[in-house]
Amino acid sequence: MTQEKTKKPIPFTLKLSVIALIMASTLAYSILQKRKIDELTGSDNHIILKTMPEFELPGMYGSSNITDSNIFQGGYEAVLVHFWGTWCAPCEAELPDFLEFVEKLKEKKVRAILLAVNDEDIKIKKFLKRFGKLPDNVSVAHDKPGKSMLTFGTVKVPETYLFAKNGKTLNKYVGPQDWKHKSYLDRMDFYLNSLSGEKKSYKIETH
């Protein structure tokens, strides 16, 4: 009979080397991810905007490009820039209530820009077709490369900015919102009434 060979135990130093390698790989991955986030949220990108940035967005449905210089044309006192995409489930779920909310703002001279990012024109039009004719104070733009997210400091969608006619940021809504709730109209009245005094502080609302 041949005697079975006993398995040699793994040297303790080798175990330490493997653990150290795993920890180093994890740390390197974490640093890489942090750098990616920093690129989006760094000071150069102003994740919290005090004023509207310079931009040019390609309009859809035959409309001309939307820019920071013409966005208030038509006598609008404030503009909502709403980042979304048909690939984003929370965006799709939120949009019907957002459109109803914006329609109520027409008499308050507030406009909304539906800014789709990283999307496809055919999918955008197919999705919006279910709403019929959009409110007159709603325009649609599509930034396929998604560069406007860096310009505005948006990391993920949905996200909505409220800008005053003077370019100041009145509010930022992070994530999907309950737009049908009466408090949103009340807050909008407060923001608009505050424009004359220009004393409204910047605020971020999340849900």
> Computed over its alpha carbons, how large is the radius of gyration of the chain?
24
Based on the domain organization, do 36 and 111 belong to the same domain?
no
Q: 92 lies in which domain range?
A: 56-206
**Residue 48, domain member (yes or no):** no
Based on the domain organization, do 120 and 27 belong to the same domain?
no
Based on the domain organization, do 169 and 113 belong to the same domain?
yes
The pLDDT score that the predictor gives to residue 33 is 45
The pLDDT score that the predictor gives to residue 40 is 39
The answer to whether residues 66 and 82 touch, using CB atoms and an 8 Å cutoff, is: no
Based on the domain organization, do 34 and 104 belong to the same domain?
no
The pLDDT score that the predictor gives to residue 54 is 94
Amino acid, res. 201: S
The pLDDT score that the predictor gives to residue 15 is 65
**Residue 37, domain member (yes or no):** yes
- How many domains are contained in the chain? 2
Based on the domain organization, do 21 and 104 belong to the same domain?
no
CATH of the domain at 113: 3.40.30.10
Based on the domain organization, do 166 and 125 belong to the same domain?
yes
Based on the domain organization, do 79 and 146 belong to the same domain?
yes
The pLDDT score that the predictor gives to residue 82 is 98
In order along the chain (207 residues), what is the average pLDDT of each group of 10 residues? Answer: 57 71 66 46 51 93 91 95 97 96 96 96 95 94 94 94 94 95 94 71 59
Q: Rounded to an integer, what is the distance from CA 18 to the centroid of its chain?
A: 41
The answer to whether residues 94 and 80 touch, using CB atoms and an 8 Å cutoff, is: no
**Residue 61, domain member (yes or no):** yes
Q: Rounded to an integer, what is the distance from CA 37 to the centroid of its chain?
A: 14
Handedness of CA 108, 104, 201, 150 (dihedral sign): negative
